[in-house]
Copies of this chain bind each other. A is one copy, B any other.
Amino acid sequence: MGQITVMRVYLAGPDVFLPAPLERGAALQRICAAHGLEGVFPLDPLRGGDWPEWDGLPEAFRIARRNEAHITSCDALIANLTPFRGPSADVGTVFELGFMRALGRPVFGWSNTAKAFADRTRAFIGGTVDADGLSVEDFGLADNLMIEGGIYSSGGGFFAASVLDGAVWQDLAAFERCVAAVAARLVR
C-alpha cells in the first residue's frame, strides 16, 4: 500500500482575535479532519520550528514570518472573509490570500455575510461616494475584486451565508461548505 499524504490547508482569518482563539482553531481543525484535511491555524507551532535566522526579530515580525512559512507549507488556503471593522475583510487575512494566490495554489473564501460589498460600503459611507470623493466599486461581488478574482482564477471557491448578527463569529456552516469544496478539489 502507498503512503497516505494528508493535504494541508492554511486557515486565514481574524479568528485569532476571538476571545478563545485556540478553541476556535481546534473547532476549525476538527471540521477539516472530518473532510480528510489537515487544517493549519496561524497559532500552531511551525512544522520544524522557527528558523534560527528569526532570532532577534520583534515578535510581530516573527509572527508574520511564521504565518508566511505556514502558508508556504500548505496545499491550499481558506480565508474567513466575514467583514471586519468596516465594509471589507480583515487586511491580514487578505494579505495571506494574495500571498497564496501568487504561489499558484488554490485559494478559497467564506463569509457570514451575504450582502453585496457595494451595498455594505454605501451603508458605511452613507452615500454613493465618500467625503473625499472616492467612488464605490460595484461589480456585484462580495468584496474588492482582487479577492474573488484571485479565488476564481486559482480554481477555488467562495461561500457566503446570511446568519443572525450575534452568530457572525460563531456559525461555521459556510466554513464547512467551503472545507467540503476544498476536499473535493484536493483529496482524490
Contacts and interface: CB of A to CB of B under 8 A. Distances in A.
A107 B134 CA distance: 25
Given A87-B86, A134-B169, A139-B58, A145 B64 contact: yes
Contacts of A60: 139, 141, 145, 148-149
B94 A19 contact: no
Contacts of A92: 144-147
Interface stretch (A33-41, A98-106, A156-164, A180-188): A98-106
A11 interface: no
Contacts of A121: 85
Main secondary structure of the interface of A (DSSP, over half): helix
A10 to B, nearest CB: 12
A115 to B, nearest CB: 15
Contacts of A133: 18-19, 169
When all copies of this chain in the complex are counted, the total is 2
Nearest to A136: B17
Contacts of A169: 132-134
26 contacts: A19-B135, A60-B139, A60-B141, A60-B149, A64-B146, A64-B153, A68-B149, A68-B150, A85-B87, A85-B88, A86-B86, A88-B91, A91-B146, A91-B147, A94-B95, A94-B98, A95-B97, A95-B147, A95-B150, A96-B98, A96-B146, A97-B98, A98-B98, A100-B102, A101-B102, A132-B169
Contacts of A146: 64, 67, 91-92, 95-96
A139 B14 CA distance: 16
A144 B98 contact: no
Contacts of A65: 149, 153
